[in-house]
Structure 1
Amino acid sequence: MQTDKIKAVSRQGLIRKACIKDIKPIQLLINRFARRDLMLPRALNELYENIRDFWVYERGGRIIGCCALHFCWEKLAEVKSLAVERGHWKKGIGRQLVENCIKDAAKMGAESIFALTYQPGFFQKMGFRRIAHSKLPHKIWAECIHCPKFPDCKEVALLKKL
């Protein structure tokens, strides 16, 4: 068993760092939500370039959930691309993925972690607090300008101090 790859085993599933073979299932999962305007779509090249940011929840050889931790500024990280197959909602998978990102961010020296989301209640239950978008560094908006909803995005910005 490769202990460097495995983060946590829970509820008959495995939370681990993503690897190359996970890219296409991750893209399918994310883009399923993107087609419903619930998150930004991700291109394959973007996922390959950022594979080290991703955690996955795997059960029975299938990717059921994913989440990325992206360092975007000094001592600031972002939780992004959180997606869990709809049939597996409310089972703690999303929470476990975000908790892994929080622990990883703290271990790497981040002092705060933020999320941009249409589901603020989920993150607030985990200790995130609403903040004004203007409190985030301008650098993070580089991704937002490619969104069809920009500049009228309704995502809520939330921040958690670590």
Structure 2
Amino acid sequence: MIEYKKARLKDIASMQILVRPEIENGVILPRSDDEIATNIRSYTLAFDDDRLIGYSALHIHAANLAEVRSLIVDGSYRGKGVGSGLVNALLAQARELEIAQVFTLTYRSEFFKNLGFEEISKEKLPAQKIWADCIKCKHFPVCNEIALIHNL
């Protein structure tokens, strides 16, 4: 049975192991242990028994805007609803915080569209997103990610 839990500091090492292949492929931005620790409360993890099988973070940009980022699911669990469960958990958190909109940047736009996100122009994203995160990407400034937003 899949369980969704808030991350704990002791989960960081397992999180880094799970995400490593996606970082190497340039799909997800690298984050240091310290950066994850600083933002640990934003992460929700998916477990099958005690095995970490996925995670994502709800990063708040402003009082009315947050981002789903760092969505990763173990390859053997993809297509089984784990990613959807993680995103839905983050959307529920955003609703509790009364955040009006949640956006994401992704190479898998259809996945997010199936969860109620709509495609938008990247120019509509906050400038601090581009200069804080995107500039670290090996694909910057030529980015093929698609921006999507979900209105809550």
Q: TM-score, normalised by structure 1?
A: 0.90
Question: Which amino acid in structure 1 is aligned with residue 64 of structure 2?
Answer: K
Query: Secondary structure in 1 aligned to 2:136?
Result: coil
Q: Distance in 1 between matches of 2:31 and 2:108?
A: 19
Partner of 2:137: 147
Are the counterparts in 2 of residues 30 and 42 from structure 1 also a CA contact under 8 Å?
no
Partner of 1:15: 4
- Aligned-pair identity in percent equals 37
2:77 to 88, 94, 115: 88
Question: Which amino acid in structure 2 is aligned with residue 59 of structure 1?
Answer: D
Are the counterparts in 2 of residues 14 and 57 from structure 1 also a CA contact under 8 Å?
yes
Q: What is the aligned-residue RMSD (CA, Å)?
A: 0.9
Is the aligned partner of 1:53 residue 2:34?
Answer: no
Partner of 2:98: 109
1:137 to 126, 134, 138: 126
Question: Which amino acid in structure 2 is aligned with residue 55 of structure 1?
Answer: T
Q: TM-score, normalised by structure 2?
A: 0.96
Which stretches in structure 1 are left out of the alignment for 5+ residues? 1-11
Runs of 4+ residues deviating >2 angstroms? none
Q: Deviations over 1:116-162 (max 9, x none)?
A: 00100100000100000111111111211111211111110000100
Query: Secondary structure in 1 aligned to 2:70?
Result: strand
Are the counterparts in 1 of residues 7 and 44 from structure 2 also a CA contact under 8 Å?
yes
Query: Secondary structure in 1 aligned to 2:17?
Result: helix
Q: Distance in 2 between matches of 1:115 and 1:83?
A: 13
Q: Distance in 2 between matches of 1:152 and 1:135?
A: 17
Partner of 1:42: 31
Is the aligned partner of 1:161 residue 2:151?
Answer: yes
Q: Distance in 2 between matches of 1:74 and 1:61?
A: 34
Q: Distance in 1 between matches of 2:3 and 2:103?
A: 24
Moved more, 33-42 or 131-140: 33-42
Q: Tell me the CA shift for residue 61 of structure 1.
A: 1.0
Q: Distance in 1 between matches of 2:36 and 2:126?
A: 23
Which stretches in structure 2 are left out of the alignment for 5+ residues? none
The number of aligned residues is 151
